[in-house]
Amino acid sequence: MTITDKNCVVGIEYEVKEAGKNEILDTNKGAQPLEFIIGTGQIISGLEKGLVGMQNGESGDILVKAKDAYGEYKSEAIDAVPRDQFEGIDLREGMTLYGQGPNGETIQVTVKSFNDKNVIIDFNHPLAGKDLMFSVKVLSAREATPEEIATGVVGGEEHCHSGSCGCGH
């Protein structure tokens, strides 16, 4: 099946590097496929667009520009926070911390620097401003079921009868 631009359940194996560099930033090779529904925003838009038109079993490289990945780097997303808000944390430059945003969502920040009074934190995603190269292999592609379209969740009661997927069905 050829991947379409919506309501298509896709499973991929991938490896991602910063474009022009050799360090692997993330991969699922040898692990469970990454499964998602095209058109629901479950993966970065540039990767989703690059998969459209590929077929089950096809491999390829997809260059995703920063704006279609984790966005451009925003210097205004850096803030100074009073050091006392980090009491009990062994701060290190470059460390990632997780907190709660104004609407209860989880937010990720990176510690840029700190002194006795302030901690400089960066709210940008660690990959913001970076072009990414994905090497992908399409392991599965099929039409989404009405339940998957309605819920945005891959699977459900019908997808696994043996329990081998880990969902408990």
Residue-level pLDDT at 101: 80
Residue ranges per domain, the chain? 8-70+129-151, 75-122
Average pLDDT rounded to a whole number, residues 118-125? 95
pLDDT of residue 105: 85
Per-residue pLDDT tens for 47-79? 999 999 999 999 999 999 999 999 999 999 999
pLDDT at 168 over 50: no
Provide the pLDDT for residue 156. Answer: 61
What share of the chain has pLDDT > 70, as a percent?
92
pLDDT at 99: 83
- Give the architecture-level CATH label for domain 8-70+129-151: Roll (3.10)
| Whole-number Å distance between alpha carbons of 111 and 144 | 41
**pLDDT-derived band at 5, boundaries 50, 70, 90:** confident
What does the pLDDT look like over 82-116, one tens digit per residue? 999 998 999 999 999 998 888 888 889 999 999 99
Using left for φ > 0, alpha for ψ between -120 and 50, and beta otherwise, residue 123 falls in alpha
Question: What pLDDT sits at residue 166?
Answer: 40
Question: In the prediction, which pLDDT does 155 show?
Answer: 85
Percent of the chain with pLDDT over 90: 76
DSSP state letters, 111-145: EEEE-SSEEEEE-S-TTTT--EEEEEEEEEEEEPP
**Listed residue (86, 134, 147, 76) closest to 113, CA to CA:** 86
Neighbour count for residue 143 (Cβ, 10 Å): 12
43 pLDDT band, cuts 50/70/90, is: very high
* CATH number for the domain running over 75-122: 2.40.10.330
Mean of the per-residue pLDDT values of the chain: 90
Q: Residue 150 and residue 59: Cα distance in Å, rounded?
A: 29
Question: What is the sign, positive or negative, of the torsion defined by CA atoms of 18, 136, 48, 42?
Answer: negative
**CATH topology agreement for domains 8-70+129-151 and 75-122:** no
Residue 100 to residue 129: CA distance in whole angstroms: 23
